[in-house]
């Protein structure tokens, strides 16, 4: 009869991760705690925020074309006058100092009004872009967060496997020493132990890399994610109709909304190009004064003494370009082609978003089914391992059967943990594809984490 190996303890991957955190004496952070830090640090969000500010300033620039313009003019001149009448002639010179205010108010400038409308749509597009950057950050943060948890689970699993294999190796060596087993059992167990050691090294490095990626995203070192609470019931996508998600995605996805605004801007650009051939009407007014320090011979009242003249004017100015060398016509052709391009870009993006929404929805559904199957597989693997251990002790199972059962159990546990994380991230990606992702959705995922 073979000497029994100590039965491996059933180590919960989540519990192992929590114990590792507790052993490190560090305070774990939730997703909601990390999101504000990531939002203030993420370069993509900062870039979108700066673009929003620039778009707002550009819209105000376009608004200036609808407002009055006022300018100050001043000058100093020296004039020479040479006058001749028949055989008589005279010449003189004088200085003049001028100053005045010149103002104008556009009364009818359709191109300026269209430019203002374009600026408003560009500003709204920048706002949508910022919202999209925030949604993308939520997904990237959740992905990085659960990547760390998955790496922790993988490391805990391989260490548990290594411990179990080492116990099986010790049992095989004892059985060989007393003559109850061949050297083959020891060699097989040693090979599995060496393989587990190599996997442990790789898992440690993977955890280090995943942790660095999360820290780089948040801009903070020493981050320790909270594990999922156990037991856990994963939420299903609501509504459960893929067509509803596709319809929402083709209407509300930030990229689609931006493409729709780009089409509106392209249409306005065509109107603006046509407006270049229309008349413009401006109200213009000026007021000024002129001083002649040394007199002015042309002024009868004071030809030799200092004089001052004041003037003021107001009127309406009409400008109507009649022919511009076909520049306006060709500009309209250009904008019409760009309008067609914007429409094609919108159609292409709607198709892409529709496909992404379908893929995300079916990915979540498949993930939920996979989680259920892996939960059943975990239970079956535990039962199989116990049966193989008993069979090994009574001599009806060989050592390699136990080693295979151990590997299958811990591999199943790793796959189950990874599948759960993928479902949670997939739900966020589905909301993102539909353009409906918000911090509230992140809070819903955060509620599934264990309490610190």
Choice among 7-21, 218-232, 244-258 with the minimum mean pLDDT: 7-21
pLDDT confidence of residue 402: 85
Q: Give the burial class of 381: count Cβ atoms within 10 A of its Cβ; 0-12 exposed, 13-18 middle, 19 or more buried.
A: buried
pLDDT confidence of residue 240: 93
179 secondary structure, DSSP code: T
Residue 141 contacts residue 33 (beta carbons within 8 Å): no
Task: Please state the φ and ψ torsions of residue 200, each to the nearest 5 degrees.
Answer: -65, -45
Task: Please state the φ and ψ torsions of residue 5, each to the nearest 5 degrees.
Answer: -85, 150
pLDDT above 60: residue 113? yes
pTM for the full model?
A: 0.84
DSSP string for 371-389: HHHHHHHHHHHHHHHHHHH
pLDDT confidence of residue 299: 62
Strands (E), 86-171: 88-108
State how far the Cα of 244 lies from the Cα of 77, in Å rounded to an integer.
Answer: 76
Residue 249 contacts residue 109 (beta carbons within 8 Å): no
State how far the Cα of 127 lies from the Cα of 130, in Å rounded to an integer.
Answer: 5
Domain assignment present for residue 131? The answer is: yes
Task: Please state the φ and ψ torsions of residue 84, each to the nearest 5 degrees.
Answer: -140, 135
Domain assignment present for residue 201? The answer is: yes
Average pLDDT over residues 406-425: 95
CATH of residue 185: 1.20.1600.10
pLDDT confidence of residue 293: 78
Q: Is 70 left (phi over 0), alpha (psi -120 to 50) or beta?
A: beta
Task: Please state the φ and ψ torsions of residue 150, each to the nearest 5 degrees.
Answer: -65, -40
pLDDT over 90 percentage in the chain: 71
pLDDT above 80: residue 96? yes
Contacts of the segment 46-55: beta carbons below 8 A, 24+ positions apart: 47/133, 48/126, 48/129, 48/130, 48/132, 48/133, 49/130, 51/126, 51/129, 51/130, 52/123, 52/126, 52/127, 52/129, 52/130, 54/126, 55/119, 55/122, 55/123, 55/125, 55/126
Domain assignment present for residue 176? The answer is: yes
State how far the Cα of 100 lies from the Cα of 75, in Å rounded to an integer.
Answer: 9
Tokens 């507790």 label which residue? 22
State how far the Cα of 413 lies from the Cα of 155, in Å rounded to an integer.
Answer: 12
Domain assignment present for residue 279? The answer is: yes
pLDDT above 80: residue 7? no
Tokens 């490095």 label which residue? 205
pLDDT above 50: residue 6? no
State how far the Cα of 178 lies from the Cα of 180, in Å rounded to an integer.
Answer: 6
Structural domain harbouring 229: 13-446
Choice among 9-18, 311-320, 339-348 with the minimum mean pLDDT: 9-18
State how far the Cα of 76 lies from the Cα of 95, in Å rounded to an integer.
Answer: 7
pLDDT above 90: residue 343? yes
- Element counts in the chain: helices (H) and strands (E): 10, 4
State how far the Cα of 391 lies from the Cα of 329, in Å rounded to an integer.
Answer: 90
Tokens of 389: 């251990």
Domain assignment present for residue 6? The answer is: no
Choose among 101, 356, 120: nearest CA to 250. Answer: 356
State how far the Cα of 172 lies from the Cα of 186, in Å rounded to an integer.
Answer: 5
Domain assignment present for residue 390? The answer is: yes
pLDDT tens-digit series, residues 134-163:
999 999 999 999 999 999 999 999 999 899
Number of residues in the chain: 452
Domain assignment present for residue 31? The answer is: yes
State how far the Cα of 383 lies from the Cα of 406, in Å rounded to an integer.
Answer: 11
Domains of the chain: total: 1
pLDDT over 70 percentage in the chain: 90
Domain assignment present for residue 344? The answer is: yes
**What is each CA distance from 400 to 1, 70, 181, 397, in whole angstroms?**
17, 92, 12, 8
CA–chain centroid gap for 314, Å, is 54
pLDDT above 50: residue 18? no
């Amino acid at each position: 009869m073979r000497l029994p190996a100590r039965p491996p303890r059933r180590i919960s991957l989540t519990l192992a991760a929590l114990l590792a955190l507790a052993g490190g004496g560090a305070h774990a952070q939730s997703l909601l705690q990390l999101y504000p830090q990531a939002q203030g640090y993420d370069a993509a969000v900062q870039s979108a925020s700066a673009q929003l500010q620039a778009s707002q300033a550009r819209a105000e620039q376009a608004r200036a074309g609808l407002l009055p313009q006022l300018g100050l003019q001043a000058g100093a001149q020296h004039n020479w006058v040479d006058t001749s009448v028949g055989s008589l002639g005279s010449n003189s010179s004088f200085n003049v100092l001028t100053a005045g205010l010149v103002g104008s108010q556009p009364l009818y400038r359709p191109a300026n009004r269209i430019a203002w409308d374009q600026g408003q749509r560009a500003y709204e597009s920048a706002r949508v872009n910022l919202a999209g950057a925030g949604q993308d950050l939520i997904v990237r943060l959740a992905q990085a967060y659960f990547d760390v948890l998955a790496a922790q689970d993988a490391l805990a699993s391989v260490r548990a496997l290594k411990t179990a294999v080492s116990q099986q190796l010790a049992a095989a060596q004892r059985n060989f020493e007393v003559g109850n087993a061949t050297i083959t059992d020891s060699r097989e167990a040693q090979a599995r132990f060496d393989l587990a050691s190599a996997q442990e090294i790789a898992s440690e490095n993977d955890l280090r890399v995943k942790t660095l990626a999360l820290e780089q995203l948040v801009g903070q070192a020493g981050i320790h994610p909270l594990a999922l609470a156990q037991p856990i019931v994963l939420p299903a996508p609501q509504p459960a109709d893929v067509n509803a998600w596709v319809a929402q995605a083709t209407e509300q996805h930030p990229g689609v909304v931006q493409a729709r605004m780009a089409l509106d801007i392209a249409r306005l650009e065509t109107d603006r190009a046509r407006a270049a051939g229309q008349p413009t009407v401006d109200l213009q007014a000026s007021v000024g004064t002129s001083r002649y320090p040394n007199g002015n011979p042309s002024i009868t009242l004071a030809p030799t003494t200092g004089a001052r003249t004041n003037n003021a004017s107001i009127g309406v100015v009409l400008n109507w370009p009649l022919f511009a060398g076909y520049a306006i016509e060709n500009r309209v052709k250009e904008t019409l082609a760009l309008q067609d391009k914007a429409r094609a870009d919108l159609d292409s993006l709607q198709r892409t978003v529709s496909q992404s929404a379908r893929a995300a929805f079916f990915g979540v559904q498949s993930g939920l089914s996979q989680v259920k199957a892996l939960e059943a597989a975990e239970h079956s693997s535990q039962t199989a391992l116990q049966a193989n251990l008993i069979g090994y002790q009574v001599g009806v199972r060989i050592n390699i059967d136990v080693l295979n059962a151990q590997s299958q159990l811990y591999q199943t546990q790793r796959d189950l943990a990874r599948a759960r994380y993928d479902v949670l991230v997939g739900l966020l990606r589905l909301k993102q594809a539909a353009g409906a992702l918000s911090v509230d959705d992140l809070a819903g995922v955060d509620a599934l984490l264990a309490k610190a």
